[in-house]
């Protein structure tokens, strides 16, 4: 009974393995296709310039940063609104048993001046008042008034500080937009170069599979004619299976890289573009090296172009305005006001009698705790920003030098990988000639081709690393 069960189990395993083998063998007879990207045939090349244009124009991160810039411009417009002329109107009457107790009407146009002065044009009519000073003639009283600060709010005031802060806020928001564009472009280019590298790897894997499959067909034909031992078909078939597996893996890398690139491309209605399957990437750029003169020039230029530093400098200027306003609050407030008015409105202008009214307003804080606290906060924030500016300048220098050394190192790696690939190609050609003359075997030929594939893989990795290093260098000098 035991031997019968063992025989049945062995037969079942044999049938199962045979079915799996037949299914795997049927995959060799089918063209390799992508479930995600196979619906379309690539018909055009998506260049790096086109790709960056699409990313920088419609990506949600760019729209968020652009909206922040719109908010900053709106805040600046609102700050300037403090200087808008204002029109006020007041009319009231009060009666009592037997008559009208008072009746008043006033209209005033006030024009604030940027430097703190305030000009007012008004008309007032007040009758039946017990207050003789407030009483006017029945025709009303036109007037013109000027109010100006004498001690406090001369060099700066809350209105001017708010305007200056919002103007620097626009500079900071613009720098934040540039910072987002710089970082997003670098990340998007890294995805693009991974896409290009995966395409190159897939081309190599496809070519290797096609060579092995054609060799398998040729060898099986020779075996059928009795010109070769049957064991050679097993050797080459094993290599065909291995290369088809590598081809499937390379295809999956293309799919994943293409989806990463597609995620960076958006439409106006915030939907992701699905047209990436219609495009192929540009080939990886040729290696190039940086010299010391350009590195030093770009290092100095990066301090002026890096948006992070410009944003911090704008914030530093905002704090400077807060410090000035806090120190202005230590001064006593002394405001002068002069008004000219005429009680006779019906006469010609040249004959109107003119009277004047002048006054002074004085205010002196006792403990100065409010301006002291404001100054202390502003000075502490200024110290923090000054330290951040110095830190970012050091980081910018380090970013440029690090990216430059990476560019030059990957350049050397790309050159060496290219030389290794050329040597591997020469060895494959020599081994093929030996195999065709019968002086070599499939094992050594397959080994040579594997070494060539590994050399080509290393060359692609080196070119991708070099292209990514250039993308990092462009980010370091804010070249996007």
Q: What is the pLDDT of residue 315?
A: 95
**What is d(CA 300, CA 309) in angstroms, rounded to the nearest whole number?**
13
- Bridge partner residues of 355 (DSSP): 341
Answer with the residue of higher pLDDT: 239 or 373.
Answer: 373
pLDDT tens, residue by residue, 284-297: 999 999 999 999 99
C-alpha pair distances (Å), 340 with each of 121, 122, 134, 143, 469? 10, 10, 15, 5, 73
Q: What is the pLDDT of residue 296?
A: 93
pLDDT tens, residue by residue, 382-419: 999 999 999 999 999 999 999 999 999 999 999 999 99
Q: What is the pLDDT of residue 157?
A: 92
Mean pLDDT taken over the chain: 86
- Average the pLDDT over each of 27-31, 135-139, 223-227 and give the range with the smallest value: 27-31
pLDDT tens, residue by residue, 120-154: 999 888 876 566 667 777 778 888 999 999 999 99
Phi and psi (nearest 5°) for 408?
A: -70, -35
Q: What is the pLDDT of residue 346?
A: 59
In percent, the amount of the chain with pLDDT more than 90 equals 54
**Burial class (CB within 10 angstroms; exposed 0-12, middle 13-18, buried 19+) of 446:** buried
Domains and CATH numbers, the chain: 34-78+160-322+377-476 (1.20.1600.10), 86-151+335-367 (no CATH)
Q: What is the pLDDT of residue 179?
A: 95
Question: What is the DSSP code string of 250-310?
Answer: HHHHHHHHHHHHHHT-B-TTSPBP-GGGGEEEPPPPPP----HHHHHHHHHHHHHH-HHHH
Q: What is the pLDDT of residue 71?
A: 96
Answer with the residue of higher pLDDT: 219 or 98.
Answer: 219
Q: What is the pLDDT of residue 11?
A: 45
Q: Give the pLDDT mean for 160-164.
A: 95
Residue 438: how many CB atoms within 10 A of its CB?
Answer: 7
Does position 353 have pLDDT exceeding 80, yes or no?
no
Structure confidence at residue 225 as a pLDDT band (50, 70, 90) = confident
- Average the pLDDT over each of 131-135, 180-184, 411-415, 467-471 and give the range with the smallest value: 131-135
Q: What is the pLDDT of residue 213?
A: 85
The candidate with the shortest Cα–Cα distance to 85, out of 124, 118, 125, 128, is: 118
**Token reading at 319:** 């704090």
- Angle subtended at Cα 27 by Cα 22 and Cα 30, rounded to the nearest 5 degrees: 135
Residue ranges of the alpha helices (H) in 340-368? none
User: In this structure, are strands 118-127 and 141-149 parallel, antiparallel, or unpaired?
Assistant: antiparallel
- Angle subtended at Cα 335 by Cα 332 and Cα 339, rounded to the nearest 5 degrees: 170
Q: What is the pLDDT of residue 223?
A: 77
Q: What is the pLDDT of residue 12?
A: 47
Asked whether 193 and 468 are in contact (CB, 8 A), the reply is: yes
Q: Give the pLDDT mean for 34-59.
A: 80
pTM of the model: 0.82
Residues 6 or more apart whose Cβ sits within 8 Å of residue 115: 160
Asked whether 362 and 332 are in contact (CB, 8 A), the reply is: yes
pLDDT tens, residue by residue, 249-261: 998 999 899 989 9
SS3 125: strand
Does position 188 have pLDDT exceeding 70, yes or no?
yes
């Amino acid at each position: 009974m035991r031997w019968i069960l063992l025989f049945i189990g062995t037969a079942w395993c044999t049938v199962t393995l045979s079915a799996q083998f037949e299914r795997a063998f049927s995959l060799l007879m089918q063209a390799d296709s992508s479930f995600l990207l196979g619906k379309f045939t690539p018909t055009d090349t998506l260049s790096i310039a086109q790709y960056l244009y699409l990313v920088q124009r419609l990506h949600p991160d760019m729209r968020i940063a652009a909206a922040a810039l719109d908010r900053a411009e709106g805040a600046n417009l609102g700050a300037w609104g403090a200087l808008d002329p204002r029109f006020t109107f007041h009319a009231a009457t009060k009666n009592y048993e037997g008559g009208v107790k008072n009746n008043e009407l006033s209209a005033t146009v006030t024009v604030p001046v940027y430097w703190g002065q305030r000009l007012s044009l008004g008309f007032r009519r007040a009758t039946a008042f017990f207050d003789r000073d407030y009483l006017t003639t029945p025709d009303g009283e036109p007037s013109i008034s000027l109010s100006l600060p004498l001690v406090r709010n001369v060099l700066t005031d809350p209105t001017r500080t708010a305007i200056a802060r919002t103007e620097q806020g626009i500079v900071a928001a613009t720098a934040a937009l540039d910072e987002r564009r710089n970082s997003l472009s670098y990340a998007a280019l890294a995805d693009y170069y991974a896409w290009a590298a995966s395409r190159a790897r897939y081309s190599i894997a496809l070519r290797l599979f096609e060579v092995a499959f054609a060799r398998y067909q040729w060898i099986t034909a020779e075996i059928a004619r009795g010109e070769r031992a049957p064991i050679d078909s097993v050797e080459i078939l094993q290599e065909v299976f291995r290369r088809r597996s590598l081809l499937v893996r390379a295809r999956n890398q293309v799919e994943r890289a293409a989806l990463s690139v597609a995620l960076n491309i958006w439409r106006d209605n915030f939907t992701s573009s699905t047209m990436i399957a219609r495009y192929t990437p540009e080939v990886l750029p040729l290696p190039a090296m940086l010299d010391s003169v350009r590195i030093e020039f770009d290092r100095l230029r990066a301090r002026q172009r890096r948006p992070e530093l410009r944003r911090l400098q704008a914030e530093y200027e905002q704090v400077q305005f807060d410090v000035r306003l806090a120190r202005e609050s230590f001064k006593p407030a002394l405001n002068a006001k002069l008004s000219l008015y005429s009680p006779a409105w019906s006469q010609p202008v040249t004959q109107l009698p003119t009277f004047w009214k002048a006054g002074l307003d004085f205010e002196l804080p006792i403990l100065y705790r409010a301006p002291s606290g404001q100054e202390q906060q502003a000075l502490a924030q200024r110290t923090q920003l000054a330290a951040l500016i110095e830190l970012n300048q050091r980081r910018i220098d380090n970013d440029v030098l690090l990216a430059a050394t990476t560019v030059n190192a990957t350049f050397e790696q790309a050159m060496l990988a290219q030389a290794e690939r050329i040597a591997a190609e020469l060895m494959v050609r020599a081994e093929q000639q030996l195999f065709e003359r019968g002086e070599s075997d499939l094992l050594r030929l397959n080994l040579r081709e594997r070494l060539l594939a590994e050399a080509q893989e290393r060359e692609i990795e080196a070119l991708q690393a070099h292209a990514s290093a250039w993308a990092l260098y462009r980010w370091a000098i804010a070249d996007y």
